[in-house]
Amino acid sequence: MQEDLILFGPPGAGKGTQGALLAERYGLLRLSTGDVLRDAVQRGTQLGLEAQRFMNAGELVPDSVILGIVRDHLSGAAAQRGVIFDGFPRTLPQAQGLDGLLVQLGRRLRAVLVLDVDDDTIVKRLSGRRSCPTCGAVYNVYFEPPRQQGRCDACGAELTQRPDDAADTIRRRLQVYHAQTAPLLDYYDAASVVVHRVDGERSIEEVQADLAPLLLP
């Protein structure tokens, strides 16, 4: 029976970075909602076209469509050694739907890995991001500032901030996370799924050093 893992944490906690490192290290498939939706749309699958219809209308993609796309990936050869779900499920209905899907496919959740990061740190991580539109270099005004304020070290171009990196927007995203996603930890606790919490405020290497042993048999 294949065993899968869920990687939880607020936006900006480092799930993408840590999930990618773990997937490469152990030969696992990393699945995030955004990635699987974009892949399905790009390949023009039936579910991808259905998802695109909702996205084009500015509506949320229904859980049934997302779960269908996830099922397609879980049935593929790349998922045979196990899957790391990156930030999915996000809501209780998604968690319940995933449970049913795993049972149907003869899979089970081995553990939930949680990256704990304080809200104020998240706001600094995301609202402090600046990028160079010319060469693609990325900075953070709090943690890795450019030598000259507002200018790229490499090419001198004026740095820009993504609209969704505004502090107010980030705090709203955090409110949604705490209201909808954080309670899933109680759900998995009640289901006797092992939940590991890791301090996500340290360096990438330190967090990875704590996460990696949790994936060993």
Asked whether 73 and 100 are in contact (CB, 8 A), the reply is no
Dump the DSSP string for 5-52: EEEE--TTSSHHHHHHHHHHHHTPEEEEHHHHHHHHHHHT-HHHHHHH
Q: Which of 154, 156, 155, 174 is nearest to 164 (CA)?
A: 174
| 183 in Cβ contact with 10 (< 8 Å) | no
Exposure string of 100-132, with b = 16+ CB inside 10 Å and e = fewer, is eebeeeebebbbbbbbebeeebbbbbbbbbbbb
Q: Which residues are part of the catalytic machinery?
A: 15, 90, 129, 162, 173
First to last CA, the chain: 14
The residue to which tokens 């990687």 are assigned: 7
